Amino acid sequence: MTITSPHLGSPAVWTDAKLLYALEEVVETELNRHLKVAKDWMPHEYVPWSDARNFPGLFEDGESWDKEQSKVTEIGRIALVVNLLTEDNLPSYHHEIASLFGRDGAWGTWVHRWTAEEGRHGIVMRDYLLASRAVDPDKLEAFRMAHMSEGFESDNRHSMLHSVAYVAFQELATRISHRNTGHQSGDPVCDRMLARIATDENLHMVFYRNLLKAAFQLAPDLTMQAVRDVVVNFRMPGHGMPGFERFAAQMAIGEVYNLRIHHDDVLQPVLRHLKVMDIDGLGPEGQQAQDELGLFMGGLDSEASKFDEKLAARKARMAARAAG
């Protein structure tokens, strides 16, 4: 197997180029597995076109948007917009991973396939939002322009290994965010659409998680440091959009995505699957990174518990107010 080739050198001299070459066979294996299990689907089949009506503009019968026209809940509307705007930055994401992973061989084939699948997510979400009149189309477009005009630069663009570690967690985070948005949307059509998207995101997570597993076998100390850095400094890719902090707070309260979900449903499953905290034989830097990762996860769990208490108290106050 490529990752055991002796001419690649010791972990002390790993470069991005050597790591890319060493992991090529793993990427090809995972790509072939992905193509076998991934199912093509048609975005237009998930959109309630019969609900659509003309908006003002070129059409004389255009009807202005009003939030009462949609059955989507307020938290569902907020989360849908955040998730869509995140998908809208796909050109920047493609540029980032194409620059890191390259456009040739199995790496390049994966980059383009991933981009095509992610593009489908943005298509179906926007069509759903407009056809179902879930959002103000003018504000959505203004939002898109503002967000995309800023571009996107990954926190992990300096390192291929950090980028692989990041997307292993981020793809799962995206899957969870989509699924919870669907559950909170109040619209079964929206729920089914986001479930379909979440299935893709889960397959993307498995691809990168398996790649990360191979990286641990290849360069355990460097990979442990990359995972430590990514987990400690994790941010969702949409963090740069206007008003993201406010939206994130609303999504946390609405139980779409918050500290408890991040700890229990995103970080822990990947770390547990890879048995990251059980890896032994690490060098001094790898061991330090593992220890720091363990301490961080313990602290995050404590912070999540505090958030849980505040959320429970808020729910109790709202229930009492409704009963009174």
Binding positions for Fe cation are: 87, 118, 121, 171, 201, 204
CA–CA gap between residue 167 and residue 156 (Å, rounded): 10
Tokens of 145: 């322009």
CA–CA gap between residue 11 and residue 1 (Å, rounded): 17
CA–CA gap between residue 85 and residue 101 (Å, rounded): 24
Annotated binding site: 87, 118, 121, 171, 201, 204
Nearest to 266 by CA among 279, 253, 257: 257
Nearest to 240 by CA among 136, 306, 155, 125: 155
- For 30, residues 6+ apart whose C-beta sits below 8 A from its C-beta are 110, 207, 210, 211
- 3-state SS, 185-209, equals CCCHHHHHHHHHHHHHHHHHHHHHH
What's at 213, amino acid-wise?
K
CA–CA gap between residue 261 and residue 214 (Å, rounded): 27
Radius of gyration, CA atoms only, the chain:
21
Continuous segment of H or E residues that includes residue 102: none
Tokens of 155: 């926190």
CA–CA gap between residue 23 and residue 106 (Å, rounded): 10
CA–CA gap between residue 81 and residue 146 (Å, rounded): 13
Question: Are 260 and 196 in contact, with CB atoms under 8 Å apart?
Answer: no
Q: Give the torsion sign (CA, 275, 26, 41, 137).
A: positive
